[in-house]
Amino acid sequence: MAESSSAPRKKRPARPEPLTTTDPTEIALEALSKDRPPPGAALALVLEQKRLVSWQVANERAAFMLRLCGAVVAAAALLVFAAMVWSASQSKALVIEPFSVPPDLAANGLTGQVVASRLLDRMADIQGKAQSVRAPNSFARAWDGGIEVQIPSTGVTLGELMRVLRDWLGQDRHISGEVVRTPAGLSIAVRTGEGAAVVIEGREAEIQGLLLKAGEAAFGQVEPYRYAVYLRSEKRWPESQAVLQSLVKQGTASDKGWGHVGLGALARGMGDEPLALAHYRAGVAAAPWQYLPWLNLSHSQTLLGDLDAARVSIRNAQQRLNRRGEVRQGMLESERISAKSQRAMLEGDFMTARNGWAELVTDKHYGPAVGVATSRLGWAYLELHEVQAAKRAQLTYAKADQYQDTLEEVGVRLALAEDDLQGVFDIADRTAERVKTVPATNAVRRCAIEPFAALAMARLGDLPGAQARVNATPEDCYDALIIRGRIAALAGDRAGSDRWFGRAVARAPSVPFAQTAWADVRLARGDQSGALKQAEAAHRLAPRFADPLKLIGDVRLARGDAKGAVKAYQQAAERAPRWGGLYLAWGEALARQGRMDEAQKTWRAASGMDLSAADRTRLTGLMARL
């Protein structure tokens, strides 16, 4: 049977669906909804619509970006303006405006701008010489340290806008004036907005001197306290005193506080420390939030031997360092370190004090007081029993006359530590001689020099002379009371010694030095219980003070408690790490425990430290027996 074949049938094209509308847009949308390409004109319409939509989106985006940029620019402008307004409201500049001058002077170069510039130069010079902790912007209606000459310009510039804002919102001080001819020559009137103008008159040939006087007068009106400081630096004491007294009588509470600080400094310079003390107390009463009255009060109390009160005052100074922004910004950290170091000295924390004074010695902001810091550094080293380091610090400023009182206050202690008794007498003689020309030296001489000279006499064996000399010192001076107790002990007067030490403790019950000296004296006379009692009391008052801990170790060692002595010596060494005498005793305590290798190591360490002649002889003997 033959196979049959047939050709495949062709598929008939689908008939186009009938249109439901004649609108090309609706035709296109209907086709797209059924996944079919739009026919003819509808397709062209869709493509054109797509292109138009794309352009519209792009246009909208560009418009949005333009609006956004405009908003950013407007916000930036608003921020700039707000910053200008804030800056203007905080402005406390001293603005010196061009003076009015005769045309012929201006033609010869002495224009109003030149006159203003000369005044500026003079005021800037005075400001530089008026060294003060007080911040310029702490004054009522004062400036922030900036002095400028204002020159008007035409047109509205940012500078002009800023000037308008400062005049409207700020606290700028404006100095203006004029130079006029008089029958006798020239008259310069200076106006600062405080009362009547200051008028300086003289011959035309003296114009430069007249301008200097005008600048000085203007500075005195806008910065009276700093002007008084400047006058004091120029040794124009009556003028300085008059300015300060005016501040105390007529100034604000803040001005009164600073005025008493200045009057206290003048009183100290004249050798009247009690009057200085009274002014500092008055300053504290007038402005208890201020730092400097408390600080100077502490210094005065220390100098007069009232260490307990001095410790309270320095603590109050620390708490008020910049309570109302009255301390110069560049001095803040220096003053913080200074107050901390001074307090550490009163509390027996001599490592902290040493570190602080060492930092201030290299502090450019501490200014002339770096000499005092250097001497205090020597004192701290001395209390740490590092005699050579103390001597190096002293020698740094040995020839600086303005620091002689501070240097000799430390120098007399250093001479005693080196057993240089003639050196003690030499310092005492120099101090007594200088009192004749520098009365301020007298307070240092009576309380900080003469008691040590009396002790040197006692060490030389002149006990009657020593007692007569120390009896001439103030009985309310803490160091003098301690030395009276030591001299009485050297004279064999135990009851008198205890009486003087008891008075010293009562004079300053919160500081540890009288108890420490009393423990030393009692141990020397064999009163171990009494010595331990006073040393432990001193340690409770000043846990960072090495001397009481060494005395506790000495008592324990004398009682046969070598283990307890070693513990006390170790603690003392943490507080005075280069005390040769301490390491010598520490080695002995180790040796008594049979720890000879450790003892030898400790003595070798001691051999590289400062030792008295007696201690070095003792160390040589100990090392020879090993």
pLDDT in tens, 568-625: 999 999 999 999 999 999 999 999 999 999 999 999 999 999 999 899 999 988 877 6
- The number of beta carbons lying within 10 Å of the beta carbon of residue 347 is 21
Give the mean pLDDT of 239-255: 93
pLDDT for res 556: 98
Q: Which of 86-90, 266-270, 328-332, 546-550 is most confident? A: 546-550
N-to-C CA span, the chain:
138
Using CA atoms, how far apart are residues 366 and 371, in angstroms rounded to an integer? 10
Phi, psi angles (nearest 5°) of residue 111: -75, 170
Using CA atoms, how far apart are residues 267 and 261, in angstroms rounded to an integer? 10
Q: How many helices (H) and strands (E) does the chain have?
A: 30, 5
pLDDT for res 141: 28
> Are 545 and 572 within 8 A, CB to CB?
no
Give bridge partners of residue 185 from the DSSP assignment.
182
pLDDT at 4 over 60: no
Closest to 166 measured CA to CA, from 190, 150, 177 = 150
Write 612-616 long-range contacts (CB < 8 A, 24+). 612/419, 612/581, 613/419, 615/580, 615/581, 615/584
| Predicted TM-score of the model (pTM) | 0.77
pLDDT for res 407: 79
pLDDT at 448 over 80: yes
Q: Please, how many CA atoms are within 13 Å of residue 309, restricted to the half-sphere of its CB?
A: 18
Using CA atoms, how far apart are residues 121 and 143, in angstroms rounded to an integer? 16
The DSSP code for 353 is H
> Are 244 and 279 within 8 A, CB to CB?
no
Torsion, CA 254, CA 257, CA 263, CA 267, rounded to 10: -170
Angle at 169 between CA 168 and CA 171, to 5 degrees: 100
pLDDT for res 73: 78
Give the mean pLDDT of 560-566: 97
Give bridge partners of residue 198 from the DSSP assignment.
190
- Answer with the residue of higher pLDDT: 326 or 423: 423
Give the mean pLDDT of 371-391: 92
pLDDT at 397 over 80: no
What DSSP letter does each residue of 547-560 carry, written as one string? HHHHHHHHHHHHTT
Give the mean pLDDT of 377-393: 94
pLDDT for res 47: 63
**Where does the pLDDT of residue 64 fall: very low under 50, low under 70, confident under 90, or very high at 90 and above?**
confident
pLDDT for res 50: 64
What DSSP letter does each residue of 116-147 carry, written as one string? HHHHHHHHHHHHHH---SB-GGGSTT--SS-E
The DSSP code for 327 is B
H or E element, residue 311 = helix 307-319
Range of lowest pLDDT (91-105, 212-226, 536-550):
91-105
Using CA atoms, how far apart are residues 165 and 143, in angstroms rounded to an integer? 16
pLDDT in tens, 402-418: 556 677 889 999 999 99
Range of lowest pLDDT (297-311, 363-377, 448-462, 537-551):
363-377
pLDDT at 35 over 50: yes
**CA dihedral for 123, 124, 126, 127, sign (positive or negative):** positive
Range of lowest pLDDT (112-121, 237-246, 592-601):
112-121
pLDDT for res 488: 97
Closest to 312 measured CA to CA, from 286, 281, 273 = 281
Output the average pLDDT for the chain.
84
Residue 244 has which token pair? 């300060």
Using CA atoms, how far apart are residues 442 and 275, in angstroms rounded to an integer? 13
Give the mean pLDDT of 178-201: 85
pLDDT at 6 over 80: no
pLDDT for res 453: 97
Using CA atoms, how far apart are residues 141 and 173, in angstroms rounded to an integer? 7
pLDDT for res 98: 85
pLDDT for res 99: 87
Give bridge partners of residue 182 from the DSSP assignment.
185
Using CA atoms, how far apart are residues 455 and 436, in angstroms rounded to an integer? 24
Using CA atoms, how far apart are residues 517 and 512, in angstroms rounded to an integer? 9
Unique residue bearing structure tokens 């060692």: 557
Percent of all residues in the chain with a pLDDT value above 90, rounded to a whole number: 50
Range of lowest pLDDT (246-250, 397-401, 455-459, 503-507):
397-401
Closest to 542 measured CA to CA, from 389, 355, 343 = 343
H or E element, residue 187 = strand 185-191
> Are 271 and 440 within 8 A, CB to CB?
yes
Torsion, CA 378, CA 552, CA 544, CA 388, rounded to 10: 20
3-class DSSP assignment, residue 305:
coil
pLDDT in tens, 465-510: 999 999 999 999 999 999 999 999 999 999 999 999 999 999 999 9
The DSSP code for 182 is E
Unique residue bearing structure tokens 């006499």: 457
Residue 327 has which token pair? 């301390």
- Answer with the residue of higher pLDDT: 547 or 305: 547
3-class DSSP assignment, residue 331:
helix
Phi, psi angles (nearest 5°) of residue 597: -65, -40
Give the mean pLDDT of 152-178: 65
Using CA atoms, how far apart are residues 353 and 294, in angstroms rounded to an integer? 19
**Where does the pLDDT of residue 435 fall: very low under 50, low under 70, confident under 90, or very high at 90 and above?**
confident
Task: Spell out the residues 6+ positions from residue 4 whose beta carbon is closer than 8 angstroms to its own.
Answer: none
Give Cα 258 distance to the centre of its chain. Answer: 17
pLDDT for res 138: 30
pLDDT for res 45: 59
pLDDT for res 162: 61
Residue type present at position 416: L
pLDDT for res 23: 61
Using CA atoms, how far apart are residues 567 and 574, in angstroms rounded to an integer? 11
User: What is the edge-to-edge ordering of all strands in the sheet holding 198-202?
Assistant: 147-149, 94-96, 173-182, 185-191, 198-202
The phi-psi region of residue 193 (left if phi > 0; otherwise alpha if psi is between -120 and 50; otherwise beta) is: left
Give the mean pLDDT of 289-305: 93
Closest to 371 measured CA to CA, from 387, 360, 382, 381 = 360
pLDDT at 365 over 80: no
pLDDT for res 20: 59
Task: Spell out the residues 6+ positions from residue 110 whose beta carbon is closer than 8 angstroms to its own.
Answer: 101, 179, 207
> Are 278 and 260 within 8 A, CB to CB?
no
**Where does the pLDDT of residue 113 fall: very low under 50, low under 70, confident under 90, or very high at 90 and above?**
confident
pLDDT at 398 over 60: no
3-class DSSP assignment, residue 178:
strand
**Where does the pLDDT of residue 253 fall: very low under 50, low under 70, confident under 90, or very high at 90 and above?**
very high
